Structure 1
Amino acid sequence: MLTAERYITLLNHFAGPVSGEQDEYEATLEDLTELFHCTERNVKLIVRKLQEEELICWLPGRGRGNRSRIRFMVNRDLFLLEFAKRLAQKGEYRSAFEFLHQFEEDKTILDQFIKWLNDQFGVEKITADAQGKDVFRLPVYRSPVSLDPSMLFFGFDSHLVRQLFDRLVEYDSEREEIMPRIAHHWEHNDSGTEWTFYLRKGIQFHHGKVLAAEDVVFTLERLRTSMNSWLVNMMNSVEAIDTRTVKVTLRQPNWLFPRLMCSSCASIVPSDLSAKEERSYWRLPSGTGPFKIVHWCNNRIELVVNEGYFMGRPYLDGVKLIFMPENIPNASKLKWEHLVANESHTPAKAEGDWQRIETLSKGCSLISWNRNKEGPQQSLSFRQAVNLIIDRSALIQHSGKSGYPARSFLPREEAALGVHWHDASAAKRLLEQSGYDGTPFVLITGESECEDAEWIRQQCASIGIPVIIRYEEKSSLTKTETSQEADALLMCLVFADDEVCELESFLQENSMIYQHLDPGLRQWIFGITNEIFATPSKGRRSALLQQIEYRLQDEAQLLFLVHQKLNTYVHPSIRGLVINNLGWMDFKDIWLTKRNESELDARRA
């Protein structure tokens, strides 16, 4: 990077922003010492390095009055583009964008770079030993924080865990039924306090261990001491009756227990995992899922197919997830032309028989107020004022995303009607009633929410509320101290399943919502959730959950913002793709037609 910046510095100094290949200019070592602010000895080293890389040709002046000359071997535009490509090919995508963003005047170079990047993603056919392998290469604007199921916090991490691991059972949201997975059958006693699971034969972990009841016992016991311990809080004991039978005894009735076992957090891990090996194990964990992880670094994750997957071998031979910097401007993201679930926008070539898949995200963006910290947010009138100043429809328009104003965690029928709150005059009156003294509040969020956070800051400023925005890394957002330090948190919740994920928001101790509830409200919610677990009727459970939502709205504890619509364009030769509730595609269900293979071969030729 340093050599590249020095070459651009020389170009700018001698040739200006426009330069052609083989252009020559008079120069002296004294000129260069002033330009680079270093000694003549260091200048000679810089010149030698630039010559070695064939970027310049230094022509020393011979004799008195003959000045040295510098010849530029690569023109500016080509150099910028090729250097950014080289960084990208090494997996240094963040560095490539940071390099190009130093030269904002060269927007056409950035456009060319993004166009080149588009061709690097999608489906590639790798030929090895005369046998074609189909591999997905996908750019993603995040990297996972953890692939340990017991430590899951984010939707993307949960999606990856579902590619690597399996659970005892799985919830089918279309059928609204719990389906067999590792357990082929399960049963309960009359009171819902004992649950017995019968395991399939012959399931193997990726490292070769045959899955047995001991692995299920190990997994559930391990969950007790994790951040997702709420899943097994009612568990009194778990025991292996034999190698393929597991019995779980609960302290009180829980008719949702099988649903809890559908959670990615309850994915079964091998019992031969020793404590001292845990740190290295979670870099390349071994599950029973349809794909195995073979590489994980700062730039990418590589998955290969599990040939002996017990639910049937996936069509794809592998998946490569390339981590792009989160802070790529939305204008750049708009130009991606290939299939990227939850990140795609309209492709430039999405005409003809391209298929458009659109779905409404299960979840919403929201603001959570910290009721356990001193500050203006302790006032109900203040929280209501902020709620009224945020025009959800304008926020959607400003962000360039598609979606609907949110009035709850999950989108309901009225979401499409655009019902929302916004009343600047009422917001100002409420602010006066609260006795607000102009104290700023601290809003914590992640980099991916920066545009929404800045827009909210401007709206609050319009009625005299200063906002201090603090951006945190994803890993920091899982820490309880981050939640406790915030006056408010801006986040986006994605629910893999409906009622279970809502319960997680209230019961998981690392949850931002849990951390922000005042003790009285938290205790009231605990009473409702215990009643939910003890209720066999789904309709009654739904009504009880709605009671919690209504009270959170009445107290302006949460400000629901936007239900985002996910749009993906799919090439007609890619089949079996469905966007799941996590806003991603299940890689195991994707397959390709012969048409795609011939097109790929033609493009390579």
Structure 2
Amino acid sequence: MKYVEHLLILTKHFIEGIPTETSVAALSDLLCCSERHVKTIVQYLHNHQVISWETQRGRGKKPKLTLHLNEDEVLLNETKKRIKAEQYQDAFVLMHRMSLPGKEKFRKWFSSSLGLLHKNEDNQSLDILRYPFYETDLTMDPLYITSRHDAHMVQQVFDRLVEYDTKTEQLLPSIAHHWESNDGKHWTFYLNKGILFHHGRELTSRDVQKTFDRLIKKKTFLINIKKITTLNDRVIIFELEEVDYLFPRSLSSMKASIIPFELLLADGEKFSNFPVGSGPYRLTQHNENMVRLEVNRYYFATRPWLDRIDIIKAPEEWEHKTDHPFLLNQPNEKWRQVKVIEEGATYITFNCNKDGPMRNKEFRNKICEMLNPENICNERSENEFVSISLLSQLSLTTQKKQIGRSKPLQYDGPILRIAAQQIRTGANHAKAAEDLAEQLKNIGIPSQVSLINSREIMSNSNLSTFDLFVGGIALGSDLLLSAVNALQSPHLTIYPCLDEKMKDFITRKMIEIRRSQEETFRWQTYYEMEEFLKSERAIFFLTHRSHSVYELTDSPYVNIKLNHHGRIDYRKVWKKYTFSN
């Protein structure tokens, strides 16, 4: 509505439903505009039935103005219009101006437009999921994803050569329909025909080669690749430096999503915000209001049931209050809690490479003996519990040692520098780092905390500056592979902070794991590595994190379930037919 700000001024000076004498001149002063413009405003508002304007006959008689809406009602009408026009940020700005009862009315109305909806749009029958989520500053170039939000979106938009099935713990075909190796060093992959990127070009082995060349240059987890050869458009061979029977599983990583390289070269920043993949959903909108995914109707594999997903960018506090199928609070007893533990952990790594007190194992040991992980956390809530490993099951089933109480140390060394990992604005490990600094202070060790971007945290300058790093990792669907990679990743804080003796031990154990084809042996060796790092006081585990939502017990929708990252895989949601009596 035009003149809504003028109408809001009127609501502060006139009482709803009560005719009040006024004048054009008085309204001119009130609205800070000319009398001529006042007449236009009044006529417009009168025609739209939000006020009544009655002129009275007779000398000295003033017109009467009657408001038909109060301030909350005016704002509510305007927010509804903004929502229907998908101008969500403007709508939420107006919502914040409402009183608490007004906000509650808006919340109830807004909730009715969310969830799983069946609509007919543009002569199409569509099943749509709409829900609010706070801004996460998504990065959707697979190479640079850093958060579970990024990885979840990449999973929907892109495909990988293979997929890892968490239920069966088996590797499944995707872009590649078959793979083989005779020696564990030479791996041949055969690609499916007719896979199209969202912009219409067919995916070939050349795209696979370009994707992995880029990963190798960035020194990712695929540093073992020695050479890549494309035999034709459908066959590609990877030659490795060392035997690695885990190699095919590495290719299910979200970072190994296959990209159309020419688009990346044309505009890398645009690709990061508006990527093109070959996955089951294509990104059609990504702005300050929403992220919209629409089904890829030419998808080579099983077409998802959901036709569209609208992720509305809402204020963070609003997302926790809104009623939709993926609730974060329980409205009544008909909704059951669905809770999942996020594999991975928050932890402290000690920089054993830097000159200074952290090179002394006895000093590290004294610090670890006094640390109380229950008092070092990112958020004071039931969603965190103490960890002793990257793996939650190990933490849940292992008896935790009693925390010792140390007396203040006779410390006269330098102020310790603590780096807190920052994933994005508002999402960081600053609270845990500050808790650590407080515990150090209690035993006489001064320290100071700095926030460091996760993409820069392992730079040479930071490695030579900081004594302790507080950060964390959420493991991927292939727990073994993800955990193994975490212990040797150059981009996480664990491996770069080890001294040469520790690195040598980890490297030898990694070779044993990758040369073995026995999963039990691989796990046993991984546990040895974790225990070694803990015994050397190179790492101190803090907490695991869990996620909770609520869903209707009699819902016809199938697979509305959280994965280990606290996200619902849109690809698997579908609706059962309900028979009426």
TM-score normalised according to structure 1 size: 0.76
Cα distance between partner residues in 1 of 2:257 and 2:413: 48
Q: Are the equivalent residues in 2 in contact too, given 1:366–1:562 (CA < 8 A)?
A: no
Q: Are the equivalent residues in 2 in contact too, given 1:406–1:420 (CA < 8 A)?
A: no
Matches within 5 A, 1:140-179: 140-179=133-172
Cα distance between partner residues in 2 of 1:141 and 1:533: 40
Query: Which letter maps to 1:314?
Result: P
Q: Are the equivalent residues in 2 in contact too, given 1:376–1:441 (CA < 8 A)?
A: no
Query: Which letter maps to 2:256?
Result: A
Cα distance between partner residues in 1 of 2:357 and 2:4: 50
Matches within 5 A, 1:181-220: 181-190=174-183, 192-220=184-212
Any idea what the Cα deviations from partners look like across 1:305-347, whole Å, max 9, x if unmatched? 1222222222111111112234x2xxx554332223xxx3233
Cα distance between partner residues in 2 of 1:66 and 1:469: 71
**Which stretch of the first structure deviates more once superposed, 560-569 or 507-516?**
507-516
Cα distance between partner residues in 2 of 1:377 and 1:335: 45
Going from structure 1 to structure 2, the CA distance change for 1:441 and 1:506 (only over 3 Å counts) comes to closer
Residue 478 in 1 paired to residue 455 in 2?
yes
Cα distance between partner residues in 2 of 1:514 and 1:437: 24
Partner residue, 2:295:
305
Cα distance between partner residues in 2 of 1:140 and 1:26: 46
Alpha-carbon offset, residue 523 of structure 1:
5.7
- Which of 314, 321, 333 lines up with 1:335 in the alignment? 321
Cα distance between partner residues in 2 of 1:173 and 1:595: 29
- Which of 72, 75, 88 lines up with 1:77 in the alignment? 72
Residue 534 in 1 paired to residue 515 in 2?
yes
Partner residue, 2:558:
575
Alpha-carbon offset, residue 154 of structure 1:
1.5
Q: Are the equivalent residues in 2 in contact too, given 1:147–1:161 (CA < 8 A)?
A: yes
Cα distance between partner residues in 1 of 2:276 and 2:125: 26
Going from structure 1 to structure 2, the CA distance change for 1:270 and 1:490 (only over 3 Å counts) comes to closer
Matches within 5 A, 1:170-569: 170-190=163-183, 192-226=184-218, 229-273=219-263, 275-326=265-316, 328=317, 333-340=319-326, 344-349=327-332, 351=334, 354=335, 356-368=337-349, 380=364, 383-384=367-368, 387-388=371-372, 390-391=374-375, 398-399=380-381, 401-402=382-383, 404-412=385-393, 415=396, 419=400, 426=405, 429=407, 431-432=408-409, 434=411, 443=420, 445=422, 457=434, 461=438, 464=441, 476-480=453-457, 484=462, 488-491=469-472, 493-513=474-494, 521-522=502-503, 524-554=505-535, 555=537, 557-569=539-551
Any idea what the Cα deviations from partners look like across 1:530-577, whole Å, max 9, x if unmatched? 443333332232233223322443426343213314334146121233
Q: Are the equivalent residues in 2 in contact too, given 1:214–1:271 (CA < 8 A)?
A: no
Alpha-carbon offset, residue 97 of structure 1:
5.3
3-state secondary structure, aligned to 2:207: helix
3-state secondary structure, aligned to 1:415: helix
Alpha-carbon offset, residue 489 of structure 1:
3.3
Alpha-carbon offset, residue 235 of structure 1:
0.9
Any idea what the Cα deviations from partners look like across 1:484-520, whole Å, max 9, x if unmatched? 3875435462433212222343444333545655676
3-state secondary structure, aligned to 1:562: strand
Going from structure 1 to structure 2, the CA distance change for 1:387 and 1:322 (only over 3 Å counts) comes to farther
Please, what is the CA RMSD of the aligned residues?
A: 4.7
Query: Which letter maps to 1:156?
Result: H
Query: Which letter maps to 1:335?
Result: K
Q: Are the equivalent residues in 2 in contact too, given 1:405–1:418 (CA < 8 A)?
A: no
Any idea what the Cα deviations from partners look like across 1:48-107, whole Å, max 9, x if unmatched? 9899778999999xxxx999999866423334544555555565656655665577xx43
Cα distance between partner residues in 1 of 2:448 and 2:77: 40
Unaligned runs of 5+ residues in structure 1 are: 599-605
Alpha-carbon offset, residue 6 of structure 1:
8.9
Alpha-carbon offset, residue 421 of structure 1:
5.8
Cα distance between partner residues in 1 of 2:497 and 2:97: 40
Alpha-carbon offset, residue 245 of structure 1:
1.1
Alpha-carbon offset, residue 178 of structure 1:
1.2
Alpha-carbon offset, residue 265 of structure 1:
0.9
Cα distance between partner residues in 1 of 2:283 and 2:200: 14
Cα distance between partner residues in 2 of 1:501 and 1:592: 33
Provide the identity percentage: 24
Cα distance between partner residues in 2 of 1:590 and 1:365: 31
Going from structure 1 to structure 2, the CA distance change for 1:139 and 1:417 (only over 3 Å counts) comes to farther
Partner residue, 1:602:
none
Q: Are the equivalent residues in 2 in contact too, given 1:391–1:422 (CA < 8 A)?
A: no
Unaligned runs of 5+ residues in structure 2 are: none
Going from structure 1 to structure 2, the CA distance change for 1:271 and 1:22 (only over 3 Å counts) comes to same
3-state secondary structure, aligned to 2:210: helix
Q: Are the equivalent residues in 2 in contact too, given 1:363–1:493 (CA < 8 A)?
A: yes
Any idea what the Cα deviations from partners look like across 1:341-371, whole Å, max 9, x if unmatched? xxx32331451xx565333222234455666
Cα distance between partner residues in 2 of 1:278 and 1:116: 40
**Which stretch of the first structure deviates more once superposed, 317-326 or 47-56?**
47-56
Query: Which letter maps to 1:567?
Result: V
Any idea what the Cα deviations from partners look like across 1:105-151, whole Å, max 9, x if unmatched? x4333333333332232112221354421111122234353211222
Cα distance between partner residues in 2 of 1:178 and 1:311: 16
Cα distance between partner residues in 1 of 2:304 and 2:204: 24
**Which stretch of the first structure deviates more once superposed, 233-242 or 302-311?**
302-311
Going from structure 1 to structure 2, the CA distance change for 1:129 and 1:70 (only over 3 Å counts) comes to closer
Cα distance between partner residues in 1 of 2:112 and 2:287: 22
Cα distance between partner residues in 2 of 1:376 and 1:10: 68
**Which stretch of the first structure deviates more once superposed, 533-542 or 298-307?**
533-542
Cα distance between partner residues in 1 of 2:90 and 2:75: 13
Any idea what the Cα deviations from partners look like across 1:457-486, whole Å, max 9, x if unmatched? 5796588569877778xxx43333799387
Q: Are the equivalent residues in 1 in contact too, given 2:264–2:271 (CA < 8 A)?
A: no
Whose helix fraction is larger, Structure 1's or Structure 2's? Answer: 1
Cα distance between partner residues in 2 of 1:377 and 1:556: 9
Alpha-carbon offset, residue 439 of structure 1:
7.8
3-state secondary structure, aligned to 1:113: helix
Cα distance between partner residues in 2 of 1:96 and 1:575: 32
Going from structure 1 to structure 2, the CA distance change for 1:447 and 1:256 (only over 3 Å counts) comes to same
3-state secondary structure, aligned to 1:201: coil
TM-score normalised according to structure 2 size: 0.79
Any idea what the Cα deviations from partners look like across 1:377-423, whole Å, max 9, x if unmatched? 8852674377316347x987x42x44543221111155178957656
Query: Which letter maps to 1:388?
Result: N
Query: Which letter maps to 1:132?
Result: S
Q: Are the equivalent residues in 2 in contact too, given 1:443–1:468 (CA < 8 A)?
A: no
**Which stretch of the first structure deviates more once superposed, 382-391 or 537-546?**
382-391
Cα distance between partner residues in 1 of 2:61 and 2:412: 78
